[in-house]
Structures are given as structure tokens and as C-alpha cells.
């Protein structure tokens, strides 16, 4: 599992049949960006828990689902006290 921040929705109307109508989100993990299947209904700015590999496919609804990153939870409060959004201590 990894912690990411949702940047924005990703709209892709032309998809393979296996992607169905799942919502996609652009997430940031440090300085890298990725596309994740949104299984929980998050919004931009939310800090989320993401899973990858076979756990991502299963969390998206099926072992055959073509996902390698799925959002499985929204974090209530992040970053932890004393840290800024970039992971550094303030000051």
C-alpha cells in the first residue's frame, strides 16, 4: 500500500470494454504521478491509500480488471502533525 494525494479526475471516454464506467483519478506519490481507479469516491486534494498489483485488480472489482493501482481508502487527516505536505518539518 502507498499514500498518495488526488490531483484531479481523469476523463477517458474511449475505453476498452473491461474498464467499464469506473472513475479514474490522477494521483501524486511524491514527485511522480499515476492514474488510479477510484473505488471509494474521492475528490481532488484528498489523501488516499492505494494498492497495486493483483490487490488493485481485486479491489477494483475483479481479478480480470485491468488496473495496477486502485484507491481503497480516504485518509481522514494527513500529513501527520509537525510535517508539511512535502514531508519536511516546518521552519
Question: Alpha-carbon distance 51 to 70, whole Å?
Answer: 5
Give residue-wise pLDDT tens across range 9-26: 999 888 777 777 789 999
What pLDDT shows up at residue 90?
47
Ranking 4-8, 18-22, 68-72 by mean pLDDT, the lowest is 18-22
Give the predicted TM-score (pTM) of the model. 0.78
Average of per-residue pLDDT values in the chain: 83
Decide if pLDDT at 38 tops 60.
Answer: yes
Task: Say if residue 79 is preceded by a cis peptide, omega within 30 of 0.
Answer: yes
Amino acid at each position: 500500500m502507498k499514500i498518495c494525494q488526488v490531483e484531479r479526475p481523469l476523463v477517458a471516454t474511449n475505453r476498452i470494454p473491461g474498464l467499464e464506467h469506473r472513475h479514474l483519478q490522477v494521483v501524486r506519490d511524491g514527485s511522480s504521478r499515476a492514474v488510479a481507479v477510484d473505488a471509494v469516491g474521492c475528490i481532488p486534494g484528498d489523501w488516499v491509500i492505494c494498492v497495486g498489483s493483483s490487490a488493485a485488480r481485486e479491489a477494483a472489482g475483479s481479478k480480470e480488471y485491468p488496473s495496477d493501482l486502485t484507491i481503497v481508502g480516504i485518509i481522514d487527516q494527513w500529513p501527520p502533525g509537525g510535517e508539511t505536505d512535502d514531508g519536511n518539518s516546518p521552519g
